[in-house]
Chain A
Amino acid sequence: MTQARPFRPPSEQEIAANTAGGMNVPAEIVETAYHEYHQDLLAFLLGVLRDGHLAQDALQQTFLKLAESGGQARSETLRGWLFQVAYREAMQIRRRQRSDDVHRQKSWWMAPNDLSVDSEPIQNLIQQELTEKLRSAVQDLPVEQRQVLERRIQGEETFAEIAASMSTPLGTVLTRMRLALERLRKRLRDD
């Protein structure tokens, strides 16, 4: 695993040093795009790579690519273009890591130890106001939905393990989790 870079857009020097074809997009445009989209891209990369350091590496590479060849992307499709680049970077990193069985890896944010190591990207995704709203919304969930949600989010148990320990069919546990998430999303939208 490579050392995580600081959580910021690439500087002009970094762009110049890392882009073979020179810089085709002004640095201020790269920086603006970074501030606009980096949270979506980071969260996406965390979902694909399940590693905070690797996700940050892929994020940096994505914006270096934007500086190098982002002139091809139109502003209205820039986010889609960035997602495609981020995806390719993630796949390249995964091939280098040879972690083909990534679907079997536990989500990195579920492991408390990893949280301390990668606290910076995690902290960038957490919004305090949203946390308070969610806390209240979770308390309002039906108890059986809340139970499954909390065990899956906090306990590092798979749905199958939760179903087995609750002597409940797996389908029921999945339905409870799905309904809980839909309720929470709706509550956040309505608030």
Chain B
Amino acid sequence: MTEQNADHDLNWLATQYALGELSPADHAVFEARLATDEAACLAVAEAVRLMVQLRAATVPVGAVALAATSSTPVPGRQLARRWAAAWVTVAMLTVAMAWFAVHQAVPPAAVELASTDLLARWTHAGLVDDADAWDDADLDGEWLDESLSAPNWLVQAVQLADESKSARP
């Protein structure tokens, strides 16, 4: 065995020891060797340093998997789901922005326009655009009431806008 091979063997043994990968018997043998073998002690130290450096140098597995996934071709159905998710996100952002607009000091006329328009869009998007899907779906009244009707806060906002308009001279 060459000196280089012996070094490689010692480095690998030390790495397995540091990683806790040796069998209990091999672990005990190697640990006993550490009591008197300076080269083995140095190999353990070097293995630990390398592992710590590598941990700092490598990205987490989850991030690698995510990057790998995003670079692979996406099937059509998956792509459609992503588009749907993107549209839902945009819609939610629109609703949130409108809600802030309604609750801030904006002219009553603008509130009225924005909220009425939003209510119309919400209803249109929920009830008209998906009309075909409704035919196929097995719906019950509870699901319909909770998920597709306009939320109370939105209805109240529109009502408030209407009241403020009618109260004006």
Give me the interface of A with B, judged by CB distance under 8 Å.
39-41, 43-44, 46-48, 50, 79-80, 83-84, 86-88, 102-107, 109-110, 122, 125-127, 130-132, 134-135, 138, 149-155, 158-159, 178, 181-182, 184-185
Contacts and interface: CB of A to CB of B under 8 A. Distances in A.
Given A40-B42, A149-B54, A182-B8, A46 B48 contact: yes
Contacts, number: 115
A134 B53 contact: yes
Given A43-B45, A138-B58, A185-B11, A150 B34 contact: no
B35 to A, nearest CB: 6
Most chain A C-beta atoms within 10 Å of own C-beta, residue among B20, B42, B47:
B20
| Interface SS, B side | helix
A82 to B, nearest CB: 9
Interface in B13-37: 14-15, 17-22, 24, 27-28, 31, 34-36
Contacts of A181: 11-12, 15, 50
B132 interface: no
Contacts of A126: 52-53, 56
B1 interface: no
Given A44-B41, A103-B20, A155-B61, A84 B11 contact: no
Contacts of A110: 55
Nearest to B47: A47
A80 B38 contact: yes
Interface extent on B, as a size class? 35 or more
B44 A134 contact: no
Given A126-B53, A181-B11, A181-B15, A44 B58 contact: no
Contacts of B15: 181
B18 to A, nearest CB: 4
A47 B45 contact: yes
Contacts of B14: 47
Closest 6 pairs between A and B when the two form their complex, measured CB to CB: A103-B27, A43-B45, A134-B57, A47-B44, A44-B45, A83-B41
B110 interface: no
Contact of B22 (A103, A135, A182): A103
Contacts of A159: 21
A153 B55 contact: yes
B49 A43 contact: yes
